[in-house]
Amino acid sequence: MRVSRLMLVTLRDSPADAEIISHKLLIRGGFIKRVSGGIYAYMPLMWRVLKKITAIVQEEMDAKGALQTLLPQLHPSELWIKSGRWKGYTAGEGIMFHLKDRQGKEIGLGPTHEEVITKITGEMLNSYKQLPINIYQIQTKFRDEIRPRFGLMRSREFIMKDAYSFHSCEKDLKQTYEEMNDAYKRIFSRSGLKTVAVDADSGAIGGAASQEFMVTAEAGEDLLLISSDGKYAANQEKAISIPQEAIPLKHEKSFILETPNQKTIEDLCTKNKFNPSQIVKVLLFLAILENGEKQPILISIRGDQELNEVKLANVLGTFLEQPILDIRPITKDQSDAEKLSDIPFGYIGPDLKDSVLNNTNSWNKNFIRLADYTASKLENFICGSNAINKHRCSIDWNELGGIPKVSDLRKAIAGDKSIHDSTKIIRECRGIEVGHIFQLGQKYSRALNSNFTNEKGLLESFWMGCYGIGISRMAQAAIEQNHDEEGIKWPISIAPFEIIVIIANIQNELQKKLGEAVYKKLLDYGLDVLLDDRDERAGVKFKDSDLIGIPWRLVIGRDASSGKVEIRKRSRKESEVLEVEAAIEKISEDIFSERKLFERKPL
């Protein structure tokens, strides 16, 4: 390909709406073009990158015996109603685009394909003899993100590889899950990405075990917690750890302490010389349930700890045996709107009476009371008295009428001890989620009545797994990990081209001739070559080649008359001047050996 024909439009200035480096570089290099909020066109250079990533993904999936298909993007609502996800995905802050067709039938634009695939396989597969099956597609997905941002990192239309496996038993599912785990490690390492696999919350997809593959990068939206020996790694949403010990409170007879205007843990501690770990703080939340009920929740947690809302939603969902559509703190405005004048914000105790809810007409009239184990373990503590400007000191759970239902609700944080080995300390870093694998179990197959006949001749629901990779996100994450002040440094396995040949001065016949010859020769070698044949000053071409991040550069310039050219690797500072033939040999050898490094390894 010739740069003169490439539709290469690079920008000197960063666009005002780009925040992170990878987004800026993608725009400046002309890789993507914004069409609307969270919606981008992939321009020719980008499409080459995406095709290279896709090829790696396909090779590794195919090697595991997975089958590629292409599923529809328009999904009838009844499938999603059956699986129980229609409401959660469309109502409120649901992320599913949906529309009505001319018959008035509701249709959703696929954000993920469990429903569709489960329906199809349920109809096509009937016997355990046909299992296991692992089926995948590489397809555009649609998600109406609450807040699209960072270019392709969180866009509303994006390319994803999603695979779904079907098994006759859980053991078989676990085996495929492990194989996918292996395939994913190969995919990311072949793509030149440094990733870490972490335990994850399975979120809206549901199911049992799940693992995320994270590209470690400062710009990542997820917080990861990793033990100092690397043996434990989890997304903060899911992470469990051993918190710091509480500092014991002096034992004495319980009493009421006047605490005027001390509504925060911080105020309470500085004014009375308490330690936050000696306090039980009580949080008031409102959960919106799938059946439409609005349920007030009272959560007790140790004062120095923070609540993990994902854990809270999971615990609550299990307890109530239905999905939680939304859960968030109750504000003063909300409680006023419900005419609940008696809630002593800042002074709430675990034993706040249900009677404060008497006036409400849209909420449930009793609290669900939960406690994090850091709070339940305290034997002697301080807490709100349910009366303004008063706290109770040296109180215990008996005096409060017992301990609420206990769960792990706290956020694990850096500095905690690891659960697998308490001598190992947890540290944190940020990550970009590029892959996620789940053991779904029978959640979808049961809901959608997707069955097979097992060895005993009995009808059984499929055991399912699902496995996603954000293809377009991967491309951007690669930049986040591989760039410098000048631009992108693509890993060679996913670079749009492997080498760029720059003719420094196209007016110079000698250079031009030599450049064309070198270009042809490299093409004949089977390399992905780009020839910069533009009538531009050399500096412009150097800047552009650095910006778009081609791994090798070969310059035909002032030494052309003596048959010499300059070569440089994008990842290095130094360049080298060699005879043409030697340069071609060196580069092709290097690229071939790099290709070997990144090519499929035998199982």
Residue with tokens 């709430």: 348
Cβ 553 to RNA shortest distance, Å: 7
Q: Cβ closer to RNA: 214 or 555?
A: 555
Q: Cβ closer to RNA: 173 or 279?
A: 279
Q: Cβ closer to RNA: 435 or 557?
A: 557
List interacting residues with RNA (CB under 7 A). Answer: 10-17, 19, 28, 36-38, 93, 146-150, 263-266, 281-285, 306-307, 309, 328-329, 345-346, 348, 486, 504-505, 507, 537-540, 542-544, 546-547, 555-559, 565-566, 568, 575
Cβ 38 to RNA shortest distance, Å: 6
Q: CA-CA distance, 15 to 10, in Å (whole number)?
A: 11
Q: Cβ closer to RNA: 283 or 370?
A: 283
Element housing 327 (H / E): strand 324-329
Cβ 137 to RNA shortest distance, Å: 28
* Contact in structure between 421 and 384 (CB atoms under 8 Å): no
How many other CB atoms sit within 10 Å of the CB of residue 322? 14
Bridge-based pairing of strands 390-395 and 381-387 is: antiparallel
Q: What is the dihedral of CA 337, 338, 339, 341, to 10 degrees?
A: -90
193 secondary structure, DSSP code: -
Cβ 256 to RNA shortest distance, Å: 17
Beta bridge partners of 484: 487
Single out the residue of 62, 168, 98, 229 nearest to residue 445, CA to CA: 168
| DSSP string for residues in 450-507 | -EEE-TTS-EEEPEEEEEEEEHHHHHHHHHHHSEETTEE---TTT-S-SEEEEES-TT
Cβ 36 to RNA shortest distance, Å: 5
Cβ 163 to RNA shortest distance, Å: 29
- Helix, strand, coil % in the chain, rounded to nearest 5: 30, 30, 40
Cβ 217 to RNA shortest distance, Å: 15
Cβ 18 to RNA shortest distance, Å: 8
Cβ 165 to RNA shortest distance, Å: 33
Q: Cβ closer to RNA: 187 or 348?
A: 348
Q: Cβ closer to RNA: 172 or 559?
A: 559
Cβ 581 to RNA shortest distance, Å: 17
169 secondary structure, DSSP code: S
Residues 323, 326, 330: CA angle, nearest 5 degrees: 135
Q: Cβ closer to RNA: 61 or 283?
A: 283
The pair of three-digit structure tokens given for residue 54, joined into one six-digit string: 């896709």
Q: Cβ closer to RNA: 8 or 466?
A: 8
232 Cβ contact list (under 8 Å, min separation 6): 225, 226, 418, 419, 420, 424, 426
Q: Cβ closer to RNA: 200 or 284?
A: 284
Q: CA-CA distance, 8 to 547, in Å (whole number)?
A: 11
2 secondary structure, DSSP code: B
Q: CA-CA distance, 318 to 286, in Å (whole number)?
A: 16
Q: Cβ closer to RNA: 19 or 172?
A: 19
Element housing 513 (H / E): helix 509-524
